[in-house]
């Protein structure tokens, strides 16, 4: 198996690679491509300078402009007539001779001579050998302006035929950067060596600095995996790692809660399943050994077995439903439902039970109330609330069910007239397997009814709660889609 490098080592290597790439690019730009870059920029500046001089060709200060541009851009400039006689010349040293005489021999300034100056007569400032090539290029091109690099690639020459027959010749050396490149190479060697050493050290320090909080988080994650759900999580290095620490801390709390819930689940399920299974087994053996021949006794025992089997089935279904709801974290799109009709249908399910056992349901339901919800799940919440009230009401065996609207919300409420809920129990009534209140039908207890209701209402983002100051009222609210003001009261 290939050995993997640590985060710090990888970060250090990436820093070194980044530094190497930067120095490679620097070497290429400063040595290999410096001449090409210099030539392109120089030619661009020459063409711009020629345009500046040409724009003043007919001005009285034309030669002054030539002097200024030549000095500024290190250019060699000649203005000749059509026969090649020099009318004016200038270069970057022109200002050193301006208004002076040549020292020692009394001759005129070679940059501004009165006598004819051309390369054939050997004047002090001769025309360059590229001048004739420039004239030929102008003749062959048929245009008033040309530019070219000399055959030995040592200079760039450009020329313009001015309107009065004069020729403006401008040249710039291109080989002067060669010596500079040699100096830069030596300098870059030292700079590169020193910089690489510095980058090596800095990269190591930075990688260790970044590695430390990551290693601490990894160690904390191992502690969580080992069962320590409250490890010390590092913070303060950077926002992303702080968020990672917060997420890991939340995950640890959820894992702890899930583990505790799992243990509680096994304990409660074991207890709740053991009772009906024991009774089923006991009565089955009783039927087999004692009451098989006694038809009346046998029927009673078989009814108990059936009842306990139904209880067991209902308990298992509720456990499976609750687990499925907790596992389902998807966002659902709900449809518009008639909430008024849904409430009436659930109340109708209790009608046989109420008639048989003497219970009364007082219903106050506003017609035409609609909301966006899962109809089957909301009916289950309504059923659980009513079933809870039936099992906790007083001797009057009366409960009240209402569906009203206010402030854009539909409010469903179920009130029983039992003993209410103790203040210390209210925070726990939505917990799984909570059965602190006395019920009239203990055989049907699973402790999951209100927990399932809570999961459904939370998924619907509905408001819900319980009021137990006088009577005990469970309620929930959903945003309404539309409402008609008609009201129907039945009991």
Please tell me the CATH code under which domain 34-175 is placed.
Answer: 3.30.450
Question: In the prediction, which pLDDT does 299 show?
Answer: 76
The number of residues in the chain equals 491
Query: Which pLDDT belongs to residue 97?
Result: 56
Distance CA 276, CA 79 (A): 118
Contact partners, residue 53, CB within 8 Å, separation at least 6: 62, 65, 66, 69, 77, 168, 170
Query: Which pLDDT score, from 0 to 100, does residue 326 have?
Result: 58
- In which element (H, E) is residue 459 found? helix 449-459
Cβ atoms of 30 and 184 within 8 Å: the answer is yes
Give the count of alpha carbons within 13 A of 416, CB side only: 22
Quote the pLDDT of residue 366: 92
> In which residue ranges of the chain is pLDDT below 50?
1, 99-124, 436-445, 483-491
CA–CA gap between residue 275 and residue 80 (Å, rounded)? 121
pLDDT at 48: 92
Question: What angle do the packed helices 295-327 and 449-459 form, to 10 degrees?
Answer: 30
pLDDT recorded at residue 113: 43
CATH architecture of 239-327: Orthogonal Bundle (1.10)
Q: What pLDDT does residue 444 have?
A: 46
Q: Which two tokens stand for residue 257?
A: 């809660």
Tell me how far apart the alpha carbons of residues 253 and 465 are, in angstroms, rounded to a whole number.
Answer: 25
**What is the bridge-based pairing of β-strands 145-149 and 155-161?**
antiparallel
Identify the architecture of domain 335-490 in CATH: 2-Layer Sandwich (3.30)
Per-residue model confidence (pLDDT) at position 364: 93
Q: Which residues, including other chains, have CB under 8 Å from residue 56's CB and lie 6 or more apart?
A: 62, 65
Fill in the DSSP letter of residue 287.
I
């Amino acid at each position: 198996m290939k050995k993997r490098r640590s985060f710090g080592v990888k970060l250090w290597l990436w820093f070194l690679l980044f530094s190497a790439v930067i120095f490679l690019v620097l070497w290429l730009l400063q040595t290999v491509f410096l001449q090409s870059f210099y030539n392109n920029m120089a030619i661009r500046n020459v063409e711009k300078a020629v345009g500046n001089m040409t724009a003043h060709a007919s001005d009285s200060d034309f030669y002054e402009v030539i002097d200024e541009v030549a000095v500024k851009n290190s250019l060699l400039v000649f203005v000749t007539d059509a026969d090649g006689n020099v009318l004016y010349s200038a270069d970057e040293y022109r200002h050193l001779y301006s208004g002076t005489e040549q020292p020692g021999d009394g001759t005129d300034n070679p940059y501004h001579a009165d006598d004819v100056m051309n390369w054939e007569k050997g004047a002090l400032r001769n025309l360059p050998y590229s001048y004739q090539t420039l004239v030929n290029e102008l003749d062959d091109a048929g245009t008033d302006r040309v530019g070219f690099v000399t055959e030995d690639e040592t200079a760039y020459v450009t020329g313009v035929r001015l309107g009065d027959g004069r020729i403006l010749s401008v040249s710039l050396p291109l080989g002067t950067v060669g010596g500079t490149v040699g100096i830069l190479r030596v300098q870059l060697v030292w700079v590169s060596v020193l910089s690489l050493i510095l980058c090596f050290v800095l990269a190591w320090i930075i990688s260790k600095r970044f590695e430390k909080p990551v290693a601490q988080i990894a160690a904390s994650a191992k502690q969580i995996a080992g069962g320590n759900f409250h490890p010390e999580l590092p913070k303060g290095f950077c926002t992303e790692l702080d968020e990672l620490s917060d997420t890991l801390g939340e995950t640890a709390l959820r894992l702890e809660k899930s583990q505790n819930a799992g243990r509680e689940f096994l304990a409660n399920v074991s207890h709740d399943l053991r009772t009906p299974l024991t009774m089923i087994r006991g009565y089955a053996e009783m039927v087999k050994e004692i009451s098989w021949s006694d038809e009346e006794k046998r029927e009673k025992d078989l009814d108990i077995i059936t009842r306990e089997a139904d209880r067991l089935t209902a308990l298992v279904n509720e456990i499976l439903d609750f687990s499925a709801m907790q596992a389902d974290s998807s966002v659902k799109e709900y449809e518009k439902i008639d909430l008024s009709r849904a409430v009436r249908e659930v109340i109708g399910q209790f009608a046989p039970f109420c008639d048989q056992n003497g219970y009364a349901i007082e219903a106050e339901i506003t017609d035409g109330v609609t909301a966006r919800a899962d109809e089957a799940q909301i009916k289950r919440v309504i059923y659980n609330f009513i079933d809870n009230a039936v099992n906790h009401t007083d001797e009057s065996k009366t409960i009240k069910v209402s569906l009203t609207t206010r402030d854009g919300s539909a409010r469903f409420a179920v009130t029983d007239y039992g003993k209410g809920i103790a203040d210390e129990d209210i925070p726990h009534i939505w917990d799984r397997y909570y059965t602190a209140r006395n019920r009239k039908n203990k055989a049907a207890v699973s402790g999951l009814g209100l927990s399932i209701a809570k999961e459904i209402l939370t998924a619907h983002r509905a408001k819900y709660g319980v009021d137990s100051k006088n009577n005990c009222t469970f309620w929930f609210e959903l945003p309404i889609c539309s409402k008609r003001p008609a009201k129907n009261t039945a009991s």
